[in-house]
Structure 1
Amino acid sequence: MNGITYVRGDATAPRGEGVRVIAHVCNDVGAWGRGFVRAVSRRWTEPEAAFRQWHREREGNDFGLGAAQFVQVGPELWVANLVGQRGIRTARSTAVPVRYEAIDTALGVLAGKAAALGGSVHMPRIGCGLAGGTWDQVEPLVVRRLVARRIPVTVYDFAA
């Protein structure tokens, strides 16, 4: 047992009480509109707007691989934009954009924020959709960065 709770459901509707942080992986080129972010944007406008501004103003901030941005969308609800993929997949590209080192770094930042808030973390299988990663490689990072710090983690497998 690795300490992660796996459920069928929608990560944009996190279960439980108290402070909850919804984490997902973003790219480093400022693109938003495919994959899990579509579900995020259907619920809230703030995470996309904040991400786009963060990218637009990247010369003067920490935007880049391994960075994390936290956007409050409710009294006890946050969205964590984790920059963990280099570029995006295109029809012409066979390159896999996931960057495990960047996800690991961003999860470390997330752990600090979740601990400070006294919150739990909720996510789809980050980095394993459009980013092209595998859960076999991401899961140990989640365990090491979050579960090892006793931060409750729930992973959602979407049930259509």
Structure 2
Amino acid sequence: MITYLKGDATSPQAKGNKIICHICNDLGRWGKGFVLAISKRWPEPEQAYRKWYRAKNDFELSAVQFIQVDSGIWVANMIGQRGIKTGSKGPPIRYEAVEKCLFKVEQKASELSASVHMPRIGCGLAGGKWSKIEPLIKKVLCENNVLVYVYNFE
């Protein structure tokens, strides 16, 4: 089950280890949307993402980078977006890539005994629909007993 909360996903409301998930694009661009809230709180996720992009080793759709930003808090940079603009193939979101990213998050969450926290990922600049993202989260995370918290920022 997903627990919906009002608040800021960069201030996760749970005990124990926590992973904050968000969607990144495959162009190495960081500067709009939820990433601004992350950067305002911690510089490391943006620095790691930019370094990862420049290295080009495994920087591709469905890849995930985990950055520990505090005691018991990790940020998951999930590449689930092709480009940054809607084009002939629709919005930038790539649901298959998001699902693969979530499997990696599930593994890390299980390893750390962590809960997972996020805004409505993929539904802002990526152009995705929550009606397609939510079932992926339930299937991959909730059905594997990972506690999930989705934040509605107000």
TM-score (norm 1): 0.93
> Are residue 157 (structure 1) and residue 136 (structure 2) matched?
no
Name the amino acid aligned to 1:116.
E
Partner of 1:148: 143
- Within the candidate set 82, 88, 93, 1:86 is matched to 82
Deviation at 1:62, TM superposition (A): 1.6
Unaligned runs of 5+ in 2: none
User: Alpha-carbon deviations, 1:13-58, whole Å to 9, x = none?
Assistant: 0001110000000000000000000000000000000000111101
Partner of 2:43: 45
What are the equivalent positions in structure 2 for 1:90-101 lying under 5 Å apart? 95-101=90-96
What are the equivalent positions in structure 2 for 1:1-160 lying under 5 Å apart? 3-58=1-56, 61-89=57-85, 95-159=90-154
The size of the alignment, in residue pairs, is: 153
Q: Write the distance in 2 (CA, Å) between the matches of 1:140 and 1:40.
A: 25
Q: Write the distance in 1 (CA, Å) between the matches of 2:100 and 2:137.
A: 11
TM-score (norm 2): 0.97
Deviation at 1:63, TM superposition (A): 1.2
Deviation at 1:115, TM superposition (A): 0.5
SS of 1:101 mapped into structure 2: helix
User: Alpha-carbon deviations, 1:54-97, whole Å to 9, x = none?
Assistant: 11101xx221100100000001000000000000027xx57410
SS of 1:23 mapped into structure 2: strand
Q: Write the distance in 1 (CA, Å) between the matches of 2:82 and 2:129.
A: 16
Coordinate RMSD, CA, aligned: 1.1
Q: Write the distance in 1 (CA, Å) between the matches of 2:101 and 2:58.
A: 12
Q: Write the distance in 2 (CA, Å) between the matches of 1:89 and 1:73.
A: 29
Superposition misfits of 4+ residues, deviation over 4 angstroms: none
Unaligned runs of 5+ in 1: none
